[in-house]
Chain A
Amino acid sequence: MSNTELIRKLRAALKPENVLSVPSELVVYDCDAFTVERHIPLAVVFPRSAVQVAEVVRACSDHGCPVVARGAGTGLAGGCTPPPNGVVIVLTRMNKILDIRLRDAMALVEPGVLNLQLTNALSGTGYHFAPDPSSQGTATIGGNVATNAGGPHTLKYGVTVNHVAGLEVVLGDGSILQFGPVEDPAALDLARVVCGSEGTLAIVTKIWAKLTKNPQACRTIRATFASIDDASQAVSQIIAAGIVPAALELMDRGILDAVEAAFALGVPPEAAAVLIIELDGPEAGLDSLLEQVIALCRNWNPGEVLQAKTPAERELLWKCRKMAVGAVGRLSPGYMIQDGVVPRTRLPHIFRRILEIAAKHRVRIVNVAHAGDGNVHPILLLDERDRDLTARAKAASREVLEECITCGGSITAEHGVGIEKIELMEKLFAPADLRAMHRVRQAFDPASQLNPGKKYKTICQ
């Protein structure tokens, strides 16, 4: 079958307006938010149902060409960069919230529903969807599932996998399966294995999302510190004291410059780092917990500790945190955001090493971090036109992640491996571990139809 025939077949299955095949249109889908590597896909399709997804997968399978599912394309690791000669299945038109069942604390959604769309739909119900990646305004829940997305509040509430009760998926052979939402002792927990598999095991077409009751009350503070070291010591100490805040976020001076320029948060210029700490739960115990947290911060000489007094003040804090990465555009024409994770006690160490690595490679690095989880997001400033700088940024990135591995951590906490980190998988896992993963992949997708070339290198098998 020629490419023209495949495209004719796809048009017949999905209607012509739902299939793109002109190079000028295809180029839009040549990468996700990891822009360093790009491939023009063979075609881009916009199915509206699981049956249509299955038809596309089958047609592509007959044609011998791989497929990659994609949501909003906010992925930062190249998880939906089209494989060579691949077809991109864009799921953003499957964007309906099909059911909200508060009695079961569950919502049934299509994969193209935006994370924030679900949270907005739940407004006033007393429930929310807990995963809250910074990209939640544009990222889809299908994409959250694929990357096992996190966000600031996953410190207390867990990442996407903890909030998925069931999935409907299309496999590489075009069959449609449902896992959950009722727990089944007679079955392996495949819904949660698909979570975080970056589209390599199955294409998710429905999600039974668990809903979380809104906390009764919360307290949000920001504390400034004279050094990133002091701030990270405070974080480690809060966790070590057995306090699990709802969120515990860190921003360093570099990123604060961008945030101040964009949103005028009002952090004093002498502050080298700021922590945003949110506690939530029953009203009764919150203030004493807050006092404990502030006392722990005081051990590290905070400049100022300010509490958000109104919902608007709290929202500003979170807006600054969640839009921080976007504000980096004010610092440089391009950037590369990393996603490493270390044991919480190693935070001061990893920040020290990030500074050293930045100096060594002559790259400017600014930092945001889901510090309470040990999840660092160093942002390496670059200009893609400057090849030498880009190469140095890549080298620095790699060195940071290798340091995370050395600390007993991991190369990604919530962004996924994609293509960006595929080389590092062999440093993190033993060959036998990768073989075990590959068994799962082969069972799901024996013909390597789904997003090949991602997650780990299959050559080692």
Chain B
Amino acid sequence: MTANTASELPLEQTVSPTDELTVAALIGEAHKSGTPVYPIGGGTSLDYGPQPARPGIRLSMNQMNRVLDHPADDLTITVEAGMTLAQLNRHLATKRQWLPIDAPESVRATVGGIVATNACGPRRYSHGTIGDYLLGIRAIDGCGEAYAGGGRVVKNAAGYNLPRLMVGSLGTLGVITQATFMVRPLPTHSALVICDLPSFQQAECLLAALGQSRTTPMIVELLAGPALPFCPLPALPDTAASRLAVGFEGSAADVQGMANVLCDEWQALGADGLTTITRARVDSAWNWLSESPAMLQINVLPSRLVGVMEQVAWLMAASPLQAHAGNGVLRIYRPSPPAPLPSTDEGSFANLVQNTLRPIVTAAGGHLTVLATPTGVELSPAEIWGPPRPGAALMRSIQQRFDPAGILNPGRYTL
């Protein structure tokens, strides 16, 4: 890292510390001079949130990527925040373990960044999200002081759940330097059952029936619109409105057994055109389902998902749609192949978000979030996240206590 003082660093300058003390010293200096600090992990979410309005330091965590402690027999691991999810899982795989969550672009996405953005993917249906595995955390607050929360054991009721507080806080409560995770044994087999459906109504019928299924799915994905690039699955036929993909993981016997049972259950409900994917092809299909960064995200209750998705599919016919349907998460991708978004008049993207999509989502009791603002477009926080929430004052009060000078990712989150 350079010897510059914080106040001399323009935004373009990236500082890449290799240890926590340096991070703390840098933030401590920035606190004194009032210089904003913009932490960055793998850079997969740079288009998320308003762009930095004030010049400051770009604090790259990518040199802090070591495994600090992996007591494999305890099924826990402590790593530096700049380690990527792919690196982490490669390391864990040597002990036949893994962190069973997904995040788009796992080769670049760092664990610190995943915690800060609460990135997730298909496996959240069975495995939950990063917060369910985050046992402990270390971070540097806005004054340059290191603090820790949680611990290194799998169950812990001492102190407040600071790890959970950090999840999704977008770096505004501290720059995460370390995280401890609970890990799980790596499953040996997986399978994917795919069903193309003529209507969204039928998708809802199958999704509702999953609640009483004798199987235990790991992922429940509903796809619509054009396929994302590099689709390893057969193309969606013109006669189909959507495609349901349900995945299983476990031993060979479990996986094959459950795939068969699900096919039987679905056929009994009148579904046809079922495909079961196993062996080598299943990995590429699962990766394809979890690795792409989305443009917009909708969160609703699972029971409201299909209704919302049907409307969005009609409005944004050029965009691939993917729902983590069992969790009520709908992800909308950039048009593929590239095409203009609907309503191409002046300020079209903001218009699409505010006047077309958000009313639909709000009526369904959910939230619409712009995950990646298109290049050249500027959006306000209200356009990105919707109106301030009832708890906003409380959240701001928390944030101000962790960062009294307002230097951590200023203007980039709702706080």
User: Which residues in A have some Cβ–Cβ distance to B below 8 Å?
Assistant: 101-106, 126, 147-148, 150, 154, 158-159, 161-162, 171, 177-179, 181-190, 192-193, 195-197, 201, 213, 215-216, 236, 239-240, 242-244, 281-285, 288-289, 339, 341-345, 370, 373-375, 408-417, 421, 425, 428-430, 432-437, 439-444, 455-456
Contacts and interface: CB of A to CB of B under 8 A. Distances in A.
A106 B326 CA distance: 12
Among the interface residues B147, B184, B215, B415, which one has the most CB atoms of the partner chain A within 10 A? B147
A187 B149 contact: no
A329 B282 CA distance: 56
A243 B185 contact: yes
B385 A412 contact: no
Interface stretch (B7-15, B345-353, B389-397): B389-397
B186 to A, nearest CB: 8
B414 interface: yes
B367 interface: yes
10 contacts: A126-B212, A187-B392, A189-B167, A239-B73, A242-B75, A284-B257, A343-B71, A373-B154, A417-B157, A443-B398
A179 B391 contact: yes
B299 interface: yes
A373 to B, nearest CB: 5
B75 A239 contact: yes
Interface residues of B, number: 77
A342 B74 CA distance: 10
Instruction: Return the 8 tightest CB-CB contacts between A and B, nearest first.
Output: A242-B185, A186-B385, A240-B73, A439-B401, A284-B257, A413-B155, A436-B147, A443-B397
Interface string B338-370: 000000000000000000000000000111010
Given A184-B389, A188-B169, A432-B147, A439 B254 contact: no
Contacts of A282: 215-216, 250, 254, 257-258
A441 B300 CA distance: 30
Interface in B132-166: 132, 141, 145-149, 151-162, 164-165
Given A161-B161, A282-B215, A189 B131 contact: yes
A429 B208 CA distance: 46
Contacts of B153: 341-343, 374, 408-410, 413
B52 interface: no
Given A192-B161, A345-B71, A101 B303 contact: yes
Contacts of B159: 417, 425, 428-429, 433-434, 437, 455-456
A196 B161 contact: yes
A238 to B, nearest CB: 10
B386 interface: yes
B411 interface: no
A181 B328 CA distance: 11
Contacts of B97: 242
A442 B145 CA distance: 18
A162 B167 CA distance: 14
Contacts of A432: 145-148
Contact of A408 (B152, B258, B415): B152
Given A185-B385, A187-B391, A284-B257, A374 B155 contact: yes
B164 A105 contact: no
B211 interface: yes
Given A285-B251, A435-B147, A196 B169 contact: no
B162 A437 contact: yes
A187 B158 contact: no
Interface of B: 71-76, 96-97, 118, 128, 131-132, 141, 145-149, 151-162, 164-165, 167-169, 184-186, 208, 211-212, 214-216, 250-251, 253-254, 257-258, 297, 299-303, 327-329, 365-367, 369, 385-386, 389-392, 394-395, 397-398, 401-402, 414-415
B300 A182 contact: yes
B372 to A, nearest CB: 13
A444 B148 CA distance: 20
Nearest to B369: A185
B395 A187 contact: yes
Interface centre among B155, B253, B257, B303 (most CB of A within 10 A): B155
Contacts of A103: 208, 211, 302-303
Contact of B367 (A182, A436, A444): A182
Given A171-B394, A195-B161, A345-B73, A102 B367 contact: no
A181 B301 contact: yes
Contacts of B390: 177-178
B135 to A, nearest CB: 10
A106 to B, nearest CB: 8
Contacts of B158: 410-412, 417, 421, 425, 428-429
B3 to A, nearest CB: 27
Given A213-B211, A284-B251, 19 more contacts: A106-B301, A150-B155, A178-B390, A183-B329, A187-B395, A192-B131, A201-B160, A242-B75, A242-B96, A242-B186, A282-B216, A285-B253, A343-B76, A412-B157, A428-B158, A433-B148, A436-B141, A437-B159, A439-B398
Given A102-B211, A103-B303, A343-B71, A154 B147 contact: no
A217 to B, nearest CB: 10
Contacts of B389: 184, 186-187
Nearest to A236: B73
B251 to A, nearest CB: 4
A201 B251 CA distance: 44
A307 to B, nearest CB: 20
Contacts of A455: 159-160
B98 to A, nearest CB: 10
Contacts of B386: 186
Contacts of B253: 284-285, 288
B289 to A, nearest CB: 19
Contacts of A179: 391
B302 A193 contact: no
A345 B69 CA distance: 14
Nearest to A456: B159
Nearest to A154: B155
Given A183-B329, A285-B250, A439-B401, A192 B149 contact: no
Contacts of B395: 187-188, 190
Contacts of B327: 183
B161 A442 contact: no
B168 A126 contact: no
B74 A189 contact: no
Contacts of A197: 160-161
Contacts of B96: 242
Nearest to B73: A240
